[in-house]
Amino acid sequence: MSGVIERYHSWIGLPEGRAISLSEGSTPLVHWDSWGHSNIFLKLEGLNPTGSFKDRGMTVAVTNALAEGAKAVICASTGNTAASAAAYAARARIPALVVVPQGRVTKEKTLQALAHGARFLTIEGNFDDALHAVRQSVQSIPWLALVNSVNPWRIRGQETGAYEVVDELGRPPEALVLPVGNAGNISAYAQGFRRYSGILPKMFGIQAAGASPLVQGHDIPNPETLASAIRIGKPASSASAKEAVAQSQGAFLSVSDEDILAAQKELAHGGIFVEPASAAAYAGLLRLRQDNRIAGGNIVVVLTGHGLKDGSTPNAWIDASTRLISAGELGEALHDMIGVAQHVAH
Ligand SMILES: *Cc1c(COP(=O)(O)O)cnc(C)c1O
């Protein structure tokens, strides 16, 4: 399978040349459930090469950076941008510099970026501080390309998520539900639907309660949530996100960390394992259903990142389910488990 640059070349509009690609995109759109007159589809963005949707934008941003003569890329990151930038820079054989907030990036995402050879700079403060510092300092360094979602090529690449949804369903869905951190992805989907189909579905942007500047209408100086990928208090793309939500008569909603964990568990029990930020979108969908705001038609929930990227939340599940037995006890233990299975079946 080709990557998004090849698949949607004329829509992306990069000049001809070598594409830096890992065959990202073309992710599954799973029919999850039917609720009344609504069909719920889940877009599994965790199946991209580095396990998040960031790869759609990164292939385009790094390809463009290289074409413009950049010698290295840099980003501020809550983890997934770093992992993706590191992988695509490695593919392009140029260095990636990643600036991360101290103690705030999961071990798994750090491992990914390190494995691909990224150089880490850890700074005091949160993601918003890191992005601000990076934006300030890159201005004077022409050979260094900024690959955060403030780079319009990132947004252009991420539009391909919307193109794929339209191609797969044959038309735009009635509504799109996705998690919002720096608000680049919701802006990209809106722009993608508008450009590719001329129709903007209702856009529902879901934030974690402790990091919900777009719900509350003002910046949050110290955002807090266990969903580290959306722990952002000052979204860089808030203007375009607000515009998309207002124009489509959608909404920004917040969900608690408790709701996020419950949603993560519900998806996992249906065979789909996502990281907490992505589960926030599903928690948002459950809230919309509860409030009778699902009006029918196709509803697409964008599940942005894979569950294996965040080992901190499932530890509770692992600890609770570990029972050590001797080999001789296995028969009896299986017998107990069959009892449980029969109990569940009835
Ligand atoms: C980056 C990210 C988000 C938030 O996307 P924004 O474009 O920053 O709003 C949500 N979920 C995951 C898994 C992410 O990596």
User: Measured on CA atoms in the order 129, 135, 141, 144, is the torsion positive or negative?
Assistant: positive
Q: Could you report the per-residue pLDDT of 16-63, keeping only the tens digit for each?
A: 889 999 999 999 999 999 999 999 999 999 999 999 999 999 999 999
Q: List where CATH 3.40.50.1100 sits in the chain.
A: 4-52+153-309, 54-150
Q: What topology is assigned to 4-52+153-309 in CATH? A: Rossmann fold (3.40.50)
Closest-lying ligand 1 atom to the alpha carbon of residue 305: 13
pTM: 0.95
Distance 230 CA to ligand 1 centre (A): 6
- Which CATH number does 54-150 carry? 3.40.50.1100
Which residue, by CA, sits nearest to atom 1 of ligand 1?
Answer: 229
Closest-lying ligand 1 atom to the alpha carbon of residue 45: 13
> Is the CB of 172 within 6 Å of ligand 1?
no
Whether residue 321 has pLDDT greater than 80:
no
Whether residue 345 has pLDDT greater than 60:
no
Q: Which pLDDT score is estimated for 134?
A: 96
Ligand 1 pocket test, pick from 53, 58, 275, 306 with the greatest ligand atom count within 8 Å of Cβ, gives 53
Q: Could you report the per-residue pLDDT of 146-179, keeping only the tens digit for each?
A: 999 999 999 999 999 999 999 999 999 999 999 9
Q: Which pLDDT score is estimated for 193?
A: 98
Whether residue 314 has pLDDT greater than 80:
no
Distance 245 CA to ligand 1 centre (A): 17
Q: Could you report the per-residue pLDDT of 202-239, keeping only the tens digit for each?
A: 999 999 999 999 999 999 999 999 999 999 999 999 99
Distance 280 CA to ligand 1 centre (A): 11
Distance 304 CA to ligand 1 centre (A): 7
Alpha carbon distance 284, 288 (integer Å): 6
Contacts (Cβ under 8 Å, ≥6 apart) of 175: 201, 202, 203, 204, 250, 294, 295, 297, 299, 300
Q: Could you report the per-residue pLDDT of 248-291, keeping only the tens digit for each?
A: 999 999 999 999 999 999 999 999 999 999 999 999 999 999 99
Mean pLDDT computed over every residue of the chain: 95
What average pLDDT does this structure show over 308-319? 80
Nearest to 184 by CA among 210, 218, 159, 219: 159
